[in-house]
Amino acid sequence: MASTEGSRVALIVDDEPGVRFVLSRALASVGLACVEAASIEAATALLSRPEESGPFAAAFVDIRLPDGSGLAVAARLAALDPRPLVVVMTAQDTVAHAIEATRLGADDYLVKPFALADVQKLGRTALERARMAPGEAATPADDPYRLVGGSAAMREVYKRVGRVCLATLPLVVEGEPGSGKELVARAVHAAGPRAAAPLVTVGAIAATALERGGESGSELEEAWRQACGGTLVLDEPAAWLPARQARLLALIGAADGVAEPQRPRLIVTSSQPLATARAEGRLPEPLALRLQVLTLRVPPLRERLEDLPALVAHLSRHEGASLRLSEEAMALLARHDWPGNVRQLAQLLAAARVEAAGEAVTVQLLEPLLEALPGGDRRAAGRAAAGGWEESLARYVRGRLGTGALHADVLARAERVVLEEASARAGGNQVKAAALLGLHRNSFRRRLGGAGGGGRS
């Protein structure tokens, strides 16, 4: 490749020579030299040799490559410092792809066949951003409202966002307090065709306070008017006073038959299913039936603990420099129950930043902070109530994490204890022992043989 000036280089990753040619010509017309790769392997090789091409100002990456998904390359590019403008390309215009690409840090999304003018505009944006001082350009990673996490539970959320964001039907976002319902509502709005229109939120506290002050429904009507053509988020409507609920139902009824741009898309955020609130008499049935059409569940933090490292990095970065946690400290966070979910984690990290005073966060620093949190001793209490065996098992596991086939070892040891105890209680009679455990005799015998035991038939 000819000599290129650092930060004026674009990387093109696509297996189609024609696409690479068109892109390189369009980008060259705005002053960008191009480096090309036809596969993930070739792109990875280029990224491992930055001294040969200098930092990239932009990267155009196709999703479908011969050796895998280009999203993996896009994610690696988005993590570079300095960070290029990352553009994902695809021939399949699906919102799921757009959501996934955005989550991984992509700046934009091109659908093939694309207009050369769009490519040139992105190239100029990349050059402009490359000329900025470090930290001056805003990126998706800088967004405090960004959804974070690559766990299976969060991948289901991203897929669901991709399915429901194009709809105009009411959506209920369910999740425990602090789990991120509001962020998911924002993501649905941002991923859909109403993204450029207003997103307006009506909260339960404001609604209740207004009514207690003798206000009419004018504030709700004003929020409805502002959100027309956009999205109106209704926070915890089951907690609203009846007059406000009745006003909302009247507004929904009056919008029947009204052209789509003249009414808002409704998203409800609720800490419990609306059916439960309806059954308990806190939400009128007619209103519940109008709101409960589509549902998206946000998992609590305890169901996606593998996201903790990413969440810690994201949350701490928006409070200043990233916190440094030891491996033991991160493992301690993973053992907490997190009844307050991500909000509680953010509060803990804020406290840890103060206590650490610039030093690494250790187990010794975290333990008293965790114990002071609501539910801080819930897991230990549960183990104590179980007779202490769960705590003993937890200590056994903690001492051997990373030592090999720990999962299989623990299961084998537990099964051997269960089988031997049942066999001893039955005096070695396998038929009786199997009955004590709710197993068929043949299954018991096979398991006992695998565990190295014996006994009478």
Reduce the secondary structure of 323-344 to three states and give it as a string: CCECHHHHHHHHCCCCCCHHHH
> What is the average pLDDT across 163-180?
93
When the pLDDT of each residue in the chain is averaged and rounded to a whole number, the result is 82
Residues 166 and 123 grouped into a single domain: no
Nearest to 101, CA basis, from 191, 28, 4, 206: 191
Q: Which residue, of 297, 330, 362, is where some domain finishes?
A: 297
Residues 161 and 267 grouped into a single domain: yes
Residues 277 and 335 grouped into a single domain: no
Give the model's pLDDT for residue 105: 73
- Whether 322 is covered by a domain: the verdict is yes
Q: Summarize pLDDT for 317-353 with one digit per residue, the tens.
A: 766 556 788 888 888 899 888 999 999 999 999 999 8
Q: Give the CATH number, domain containing residue 116.
A: 3.40.50.2300
Beta carbons within 8 Å of 276's beta carbon, 6+ residues apart: none
The phi-psi region of residue 295 (left if phi > 0; otherwise alpha if psi is between -120 and 50; otherwise beta) is beta
How many Å apart are CA 165 and CA 292, to the nearest integer? 16
- Whether 83 is covered by a domain: the verdict is yes
> What is the average pLDDT across 118-135?
74
- Whether 335 is covered by a domain: the verdict is yes
- Whether 85 is covered by a domain: the verdict is yes
Q: How many CA within 13 A on the CB side of residue 126?
A: 34
Give the model's pLDDT for residue 144: 52
Residues 82 and 111 grouped into a single domain: yes
The yes-or-no verdict on residue 166 having pLDDT over 90 is: no
How many Å apart are CA 371 and CA 253, to the nearest integer? 49
- Whether 426 is covered by a domain: the verdict is yes
Q: How many CB atoms lie within 10 A of CB 384?
A: 12
Residues 205 and 262 grouped into a single domain: yes
The yes-or-no verdict on residue 375 having pLDDT over 90 is: no
Q: Give the CATH number, domain containing residue 370.
A: 1.10.8.60
Residues 290 and 161 grouped into a single domain: yes
Give the model's pLDDT for residue 328: 87
Give the model's pLDDT for residue 96: 66
Pairing relationship of beta strands 108-111 and 85-90 according to DSSP bridges = parallel
- Whether 285 is covered by a domain: the verdict is yes
The yes-or-no verdict on residue 130 having pLDDT over 80 is: no
Asked which of 132-146, 252-266, 274-288 is least confident by mean pLDDT, the reply is 132-146
The yes-or-no verdict on residue 145 having pLDDT over 80 is: no
Q: Give the CATH number, domain containing residue 413.
A: 1.10.10
The yes-or-no verdict on residue 273 having pLDDT over 60 is: yes
Our count of domains for the chain comes to: 4
- Whether 112 is covered by a domain: the verdict is yes
Residues 211 and 241 grouped into a single domain: yes
Q: Which residue, of 277, 297, 317, is where some domain finishes?
A: 297
Residues 289 and 318 grouped into a single domain: no
The yes-or-no verdict on residue 418 having pLDDT over 80 is: yes
Q: How many CB atoms lie within 10 A of CB 153?
A: 17
**Domain of residue 80, residue span:** 9-133
Residues 128 and 39 grouped into a single domain: yes
Residues 163 and 289 grouped into a single domain: yes
Give the model's pLDDT for residue 316: 80
Q: What is the largest CA-CA distance in the chain?
A: 86
The yes-or-no verdict on residue 399 having pLDDT over 70 is: no
* Contact criterion met (CB below 8 Å) for 78 and 104: yes
- Whether 327 is covered by a domain: the verdict is yes
Residues 230 and 195 grouped into a single domain: yes
Q: Give the CATH number, domain containing residue 183.
A: 3.40.50.300
Start-to-end CA distance of the chain, whole Å, equals 77
Q: Which residue, of 98, 133, 168, is where some domain finishes?
A: 133
How many Å apart are CA 291 and CA 193, to the nearest integer? 21
How many Å apart are CA 34 and CA 56, to the nearest integer? 9
Letter string b/e over residues 266-281, b meaning 16 or more CB atoms within 10 A of that residue's CB: bbbbbbebbeebbeee
Residues 163 and 290 grouped into a single domain: yes
Higher pLDDT, 421 or 137: 421
**Look-up: residue for tokens 């502002």?**
226
